[in-house]
Amino acid sequence: MHFGVLGSGIIGLTTALELQQQFPTAHVSIIADRFNEDTVSYVAAGIFRPGTSFMGPTQEITQQWMTDAFNYWDDIRRSKEAPLAGVCQLSGYIYSRTTPSIVRNHFIEKLLPVYRRATEEELQLCHGGWKYGSFFTTCLTESRLFLPYATKKFLDNGGKVVRQHVQSFFDVPQNFNVLLNCTGMGAKDLCGDQHLVPIRGQVLKVRAPWIKTAFYGDLDTYVLPGFETVTLGGCRQYDSYNTEWCKYDSMAIKERCYNLLPSLKNAEIVRECVGLRPHRSVVRVEPELVSNDQGRHLKIVHNYGHGGYGVTTAPGTAKYAVKIVRDMLAGNSKL
Ligand SMILES: Cc1cc2nc3c(=O)[nH]c(=O)nc-3n(C[C@H](O)[C@H](O)[C@H](O)COP(=O)(O)OP(=O)(O)OC[C@H]3O[C@@H](n4cnc5c(N)ncnc54)[C@H](O)[C@@H]3O)c2cc1C
- CA 88 – CA 98 distance, rounded (Å): 31
Q: Is 282 annotated as a binding residue?
A: no
d(CA 61, CA 157): 29
Pick from 56, 62, 66: nearest CA to 284: 56
- Measure the CA–CA gap between 131 and 149, rounded to whole angstroms: 41
> Rounded mean pLDDT of 268-277?
97
Q: Is the pLDDT of residue 20 over 90?
A: yes
Q: How confident is the model at residue 334 (pLDDT cuts 50, 70, 90)?
A: low
Question: What's the pLDDT at 175?
Answer: 86
Least confident of 1-5, 289-293, 320-324: 289-293
Beta strands in the chain (DSSP E): 2-6, 27-32, 87-96, 114-117, 132-141, 160-163, 178-181, 196-207, 214-217, 221-225, 230-233, 237-238, 268-291, 297-306
Q: How far is 253 from 237, CA to CA, in rounded Å?
A: 13
- Looking at every residue in the chain, the average pLDDT score rounds to 97
The total number of residues written for the chain in this structure:
335
Nearest to 10 by CA among 44, 33, 51: 44
For residue 16, what pLDDT is reported? 98
Instruction: Please choose from 13, 18, 31, 34 the residue to mutate so as to test ligand 1's pocket, defined by most ligand atoms within 8 A of CB.
Output: 34
- 49 marked ligand binding residue: no
Task: Flag whether pLDDT at 32 surpasses 90.
Answer: yes
- Annotation-wise, does 117 bind a ligand? no
Superfamily of domain 2-329: NAD(P)-binding Rossmann-like Domain (3.40.50.720)
Q: Which residues contact 206 (CB under 8 A, 6 or more apart)?
A: 229, 230, 232, 264, 267, 268, 269, 270
The annotation status of 307 as a binding-site residue, yes or no, is yes
In the chain, the percentage of residues whose pLDDT exceeds 90 is 96
Let me know: does 253 contact 183? Beta carbons within 8 Å.
Answer: no
Q: Which of 91-95, 173-177, 279-283 has the lowest mean pLDDT?
A: 173-177
Q: What is the pLDDT of residues 33-57, one digit of tens each?
A: 999 999 999 999 999 999 999 999 9
Q: Give ligand 1 pocket residues (Cβ under 6 A).
A: 6-12, 32-34, 39-41, 43-47, 165-166, 182-184, 186, 190, 201, 203, 233-234, 275, 277-278, 304, 306-312
Distance 291 CA to ligand 1 centre (A): 27
Q: How many angstroms separate the alpha carbon of residue 215 from the centre of ligand 1?
A: 23
**127-155 pLDDT, tens digit each:** 999 999 999 999 999 999 999 999 999 99
pTM, rounded to two decimals: 0.97
Output the residue whose Cα is nearest ligand 1's atom 15.
308
Give the closest residue (by CA) to ligand 1 atom 4.
44
